[in-house]
Structure 1
Amino acid sequence: MLILIVEDDRDLSANMAAYLEMHDMECDFAYNGAAALQLCEDNHYDLIILDIMMPKMDGYTVCQTLQDRGVDTPVIILTACDDDQEQLRGFSAGADDYVSKPCSLPILKARIDAIKKRQEQSSRKITIQDMVIDLTARTVERQGLPIKLSPTAFKLLSYLAQRSPNVISREELQKHLWPEKDVKASNFNVHVHAIRTALDKPFDTPLLHTMIGTGLAIRGGHDE
């Protein structure tokens, strides 16, 4: 389980990581909100522990931005502000749980375990031919082999797979990936190429199909 700890107190971050790593969890670190968003853009995390009062961007803004971008990684807010209004604000921003400082590390681990258990119980999978996408674990396999994709490429592939075998226009796909901004076609093409390279190139039968002038589709052999 890979956890992102977003906390500007480096000693506290190190203490949490040392305890969690004793229980077979891996940890990455961000010491401000802007760095956290960049790490979430570049990596997939199973859970985020998020402080509220941080430089550059507070935790509420980070949490809301992740939600707006379609990142559904569970978030545990960690803060010294423990009144009801602050907790409600955190939940409204998309947090899954709330732990007050100073926190008990065993209690923090118990909260993490509870979220992990809920994820396992609600696991959703899509199977198309020899590809399996686990939407909860955010993993992709083909012929039993793991397919490594960036968070954005995974989001694109999942959207196509959920609508397979339908053809989805590039405009709709770009709006799904970046709802709050316009992006260059070249940026979109980078992620399409990444999917095609990882998902199709090593195998005999392609699953990602480009329909000239129409859009993209994920299709198994029986859908041709």
Structure 2
Amino acid sequence: MGSLTDDPDFRATTFVVVDFETTTPTGHPAQPIEVAALALRCQDGAWTEAGRSTSLIRPPAFAPVTPADTAQTGLTAAELAGAPDVAHVMGALDRRFTPDSQYLLVAQHAATEANVIHNARAHCPTLARVNFLDTIPLAKHLFPGLANYKLDTLLAHFTIPRPAARHRAYADVDVTAKVFLHLLDAADDTSQLTDLAALVKVAGRTARSNVPVQGGLFDI
């Protein structure tokens, strides 16, 4: 372990890797049909799992599971019909985030997860204010010159086996966590990122609920 993982702010942070599978209804934002989250802490020079959550989510009537969704995820409308709705699932996930703790969410292409969480913010107000780290800009910074920075490409680069259940949230969150830890090891080994602030500068994404809303020039 190097200077990044020795940083007190880094050690005080719980990194929660999150992944959603969604439907994409015409005229509406993406609607979640599955979520998985994996919480990691760096303690005494080693990474430990601090919690795990996964759930199917019943989509609203305007966002039915399509054959293309089933082809990608394996999830069917019948499987999701009995799942809890987004309010229940996101509310339960939100309650796992305690107000007195420091968190960062971690995602591959974090814009997707950020938008899903923001659109569900009425059900997860605490979660909606947690900022992100995106593995894509972090990988670009540490490993310039890869053909692309898709998750499968990063799995191959780090020789992480591609899971049989790829495109299921519970499987993708596990391998995204492995990619994230490989990236942090590289940052430590090369001393390119020396503290949490430097990591956030390279790979951070502000939660949409934390972005100030600017009024119009002539608002009264």
For the aligned pair, the TM-score class normalised by the smaller chain equals: under 0.3
TM-score, with structure 2 as normaliser: 0.25
Considering Cα pairs closer than 8 Å and 6+ residues apart, tell me whether 1 or 2 has the greater RCO. 2
TM-score, with structure 1 as normaliser: 0.24
